[in-house]
Amino acid sequence: MVPLVLEDFSSLKGFTVAGLLDSGATNGFINTKLVEENGLEMEPLPLAVSVYNADGTANKGWGRITHIVRLCLQIKDHTEIFPFAVTDTGKSDVIIGFN
């Protein structure tokens, strides 16, 4: 796990979370509970996106992703605006994929 600083644009609230860097993930994901607890503003996706496992099978636990959250992401001295797909990320607050 890597400590990440996230900042919400609407409230300018910043918080530190534990992030998992996953070379097999193709996007960034944020835990639904974290979004709800921090009152983060979600944007609906035009179309729901299915989540697939590394072996190509549909992920039954995560289902379909219908919203994203755009946050300012800071890892050490690197900062960028990052769109996180809102879903159940298990024990990780966020998962950072290589997209």
The pLDDT tens digits of the residues spanning 40-61 come to 999 999 999 988 766 777 766 6
Query: Residue 33: helix, strand or coil by DSSP?
Result: helix
Fold of 2-70+79-96: Cathepsin D, subunit A; domain 1 (2.40.70)
The pLDDT tens digits of the residues spanning 2-34 come to 888 899 887 778 889 988 888 878 789 999 999
The pLDDT tens digits of the residues spanning 64-92 come to 899 999 999 988 888 889 999 998 888 88
Instruction: Give the C-alpha separation, 7 to 1, whole Å.
Output: 19
Tell me which DSSP letter residue 37 carries: H
96 Cβ contact list (under 8 Å, min separation 6): 2, 4, 19, 20, 21, 22, 25, 28, 73, 82
Domain ranges of the chain: 2-70+79-96
